[in-house]
């Protein structure tokens, strides 16, 4: 028996014409996720195998976090031979039984030349396990489930399957510019865009000195978590204080919020175009804060030509929090930070700012100069994936 990790993929099946490309992306992303010491990836027909694994459970755990993965099992490769399969299953049952009283064998035969079909294998192997272990068969609610997959070069035996996150491999659908603040929502929005195959670049509007350097550091750390899904994330840090001061000095306070956001969108679009990103993405959710009323969203959105993805638009805050915890961004996001959107903003901002009102206010500002200047002074940081416990030093 040779340790092996088996990765099953998700929706990739549906994309017939692109299947090869999607699989290559998935392999690349898996390689980044499991790390240099994690094992050697081999593409099978409808599976990806990880061979030469030294820590199968850890490799399986990491692979199970990669978008495009349906499920992952850590187990053993055995020869294509009924007796070898029986012996392997008996050994796995002996090792994994942990007080189990019932079991089920779930065989799947991809290799139709193998002499036993899946029902036949279930029966033969099941009988041997009963004899060797005194466990009873329960097909509906077994305490222990052992899977067998009969491939073309080897069979695979495993106890337990981890669900993957589904979705599409990052990179499969395009390049998206995420407006990333230090808050709870935008990292989750970015993660959901990655789930649908988008590779991210991030844009952060930094209103230094009104906003402290710690907030920028926090955004960098959030990027490092998102980078786990794609290798590196380019973080574009836009100096935003001058634009906000111009709004403060030239417009009515209730309009500040909408005007800031329109400037952000214009700047983000310009950056997106320069890096070849095909859409923007934000953490906005309908009616969560003053800038997210339907009217204000409309007025903000008018300045963008690129599509703006808003994966959280119908989420309640607590639904987003559940996701943030799962992704691992929540604890970072709740650390105190300065929010540039509230700079100089009065307690009661305009909730129904029309596009005409915003345009009229903007005529008193040199919007083009503010946008061009912010873009010109943007710095780009390359953010590598966050290192995790157990990672080999690089
Ligand atoms: P978040 O939790 O992501 O900060 P939010 O619920 O606080 O979102 P807003 O502060 O109104 O809502 O921001 C809405 C969206 O605008 C954010 O989700 C983010 O995409 C973008 N955004 C806001 N501030 C910034 C910033 N300083 N830099 C980059 N993007 C920002
Ligand atoms: Mg915020």
Q: Which atom of ligand 1 is nearest to the CA of 342?
A: 10
Phi-psi map region of 381: left, alpha, beta (phi>0 left; psi -120 to 50 alpha): beta
φ, ψ for residue 151 (rounded to 5)? -95, -165
Whole-angstrom Cα distance, residue 12 to residue 263? Answer: 38
Cα gap 319→118, rounded to integer Å = 41
182, 183, 271: residue to mutate for ligand 1 pocket, most atoms within 8 A of CB? 183
pLDDT value of position 15:
62
Q: Which residue owns the Cα nearest ligand 1 atom 24?
A: 181
Contact (CB, 8 A) for 371 and 303: no
Residue 267 structure tokens: 């700047």
Distance separating alpha carbons of residues 362 and 381, to the nearest angstrom: 31
Looking at ligand 1, which atom is closest to the CA of residue 292? 11
Tell which atom from ligand 1 comes closest to the C-alpha of 282.
20
Edge-to-edge strand order for the sheet containing 279-281? 308-309, 279-281, 174-179, 198-206, 233-239, 379-383
Closest CA to 245 of 216, 280, 211: 211
Which stretch of DSSP H or E encloses residue 243? Answer: helix 241-250
Q: Supply the pLDDT for residue 20.
A: 85
Burial class (CB in 10 A: 0-12, 13-18, 19+), 394: exposed
Identify the pLDDT of residue 286.
Answer: 93
pLDDT of 393 reads: 42
The pair of three-digit structure tokens given for residue 51, joined into one six-digit string = 């061979």
Let me know: does 280 contact 308? Beta carbons within 8 Å: yes
CA distance 378 to 181: 15
Note the pLDDT of residue 17.
Answer: 76
What does DSSP assign to residue 178? E
The residue among 228, 236, 73 whose CA lies nearest residue 160 is 73
Find the ligand nearest to 320 CA.
Answer: 1
The pLDDT score that the predictor gives to residue 141 is: 95
User: Which bound ligand lies closest to the C-alpha atom of 244?
Assistant: 1
Cα-based angle 155, 158, 163 (whole degrees, multiple of 5): 115
Going from the C-alpha of 126 to that of each of 16, 81, 265, the distances in angstroms are 37, 16, 61
Locate the ligand 1 atom nearest the alpha carbon of residue 178 and give its number: 20
Contact 244, 260 (CB under 8 A): yes
Helices then strands, counting H and E runs in the chain, come out as 13, 15
List per-residue pLDDT tens for the chain, 394 residues long: 899 999 999 766 566 677 888 899 999 999 988 988 889 999 887 899 999 999 999 999 999 999 999 999 999 999 999 999 999 999 999 999 999 999 999 999 999 999 999 999 999 999 999 999 989 999 999 999 999 999 999 999 999 999 999 999 999 999 999 999 999 999 999 999 999 999 999 999 999 999 999 999 999 999 999 998 998 999 999 999 999 999 999 999 999 999 999 999 999 999 999 999 999 999 999 988 888 999 999 999 999 999 999 999 999 999 999 999 999 999 999 998 888 888 999 899 999 999 999 999 999 999 999 999 999 999 999 999 886 655 544 3
**Beta-strand relationship, 155-159 and 174-179:** unpaired
Among the bound ligands, name the one nearest to the CA of residue 284.
1
Name the residue among 74, 82, 30 with its Cα closest to residue 53: 74
Ligand 1 neighbours by CB, cut-off 6 Å: 179-181, 183-186, 203-205, 282-284, 288-289, 291, 339-341
pLDDT at 392: 47
Tell me how far the alpha carbon of residue 236 lies from the centroid of ligand 1, in angstroms. Answer: 15
pTM attached to this predicted model:
0.90
How far is ligand 1, taken at its centre, from the CA of residue 261, in Å?
Answer: 9
Cα–Cα nearest to 80, from 103, 111, 52? 111
What's the CA angle centered on 88, arms 80 and 96, to 5 degrees? 145
């Amino acid at each position: 028996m040779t340790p092996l990790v088996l990765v099953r993929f998700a929706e990739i099946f549906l994309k017939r014409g692109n299947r090869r490309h999607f699989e290559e992306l998935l392999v690349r992303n898996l390689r980044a996720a499991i790390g240099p010491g994690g094992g050697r990836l081999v593409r099978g027909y409808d599976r990806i195998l990880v061979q030469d694994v030294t820590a199968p459970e850890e490799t399986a755990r990491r692979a199970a976090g990669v978008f495009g993965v349906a499920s992952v099992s850590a187990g053993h490769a055995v020869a294509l031979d009924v007796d070898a399969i029986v012996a392997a299953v008996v050994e796995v049952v002996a090792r994994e039984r942990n007080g189990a009283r019932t079991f089920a064998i779930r065989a799947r035969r991809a290799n139709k030349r193998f002499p036993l079909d899946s029902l036949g294998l279930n029966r033969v192997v099941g009988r041997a396990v009963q004899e060797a272990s005194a466990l009873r068969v329960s097909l509906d609610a077994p305490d222990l489930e052992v899977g067998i997959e009969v491939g073309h070069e080897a069979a695979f035996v495993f106890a337990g399957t981890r669900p993957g996150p589904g979705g599409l491999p990052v990179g499969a659908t395009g390049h998206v510019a995420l407006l990333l603040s230090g808050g709870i929502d935008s990292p989750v929005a970015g993660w959901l865009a990655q789930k649908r195959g988008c590779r991210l670049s991030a844009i952060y509007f930094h209103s230094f000195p009104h906003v402290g350097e710690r907030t920028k550091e926090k955004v960098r750390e959030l990027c490092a978590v998102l980078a786990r899904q794609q290798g590196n994330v380019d973080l574009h840090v836009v100096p935003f204080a001058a634009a906000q001061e111009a709004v403060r000095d030239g417009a009515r306070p209730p309009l500040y919020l909408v005007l800031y956001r329109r400037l952000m969108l214009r700047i983000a679009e310009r950056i997106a175009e320069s890096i070849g990103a095909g859409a923007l993405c934000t953490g906005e959710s309908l009616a969560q804060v003053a800038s997210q009323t339907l009217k204000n969203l409309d007025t903000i959105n008018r300045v963008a030509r690129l599509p703006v993805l808003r994966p959280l638009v119908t989420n309640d805050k607590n639904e987003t929090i559940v996701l943030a915890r799962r992704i691992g961004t929540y604890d970072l996001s709740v650390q105190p930070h300065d929010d540039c959107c509230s700079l100089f903003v009065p307690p009661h901002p305009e909730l129904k700012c029309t596009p005409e009102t915003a345009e009229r206010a903007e005529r008193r500002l040199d919007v083009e100069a503010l946008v061009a200047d912010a873009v010109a002074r943007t710095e780009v940081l390359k953010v590598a994936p966050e290192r995790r416990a157990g990672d080999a030093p690089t």
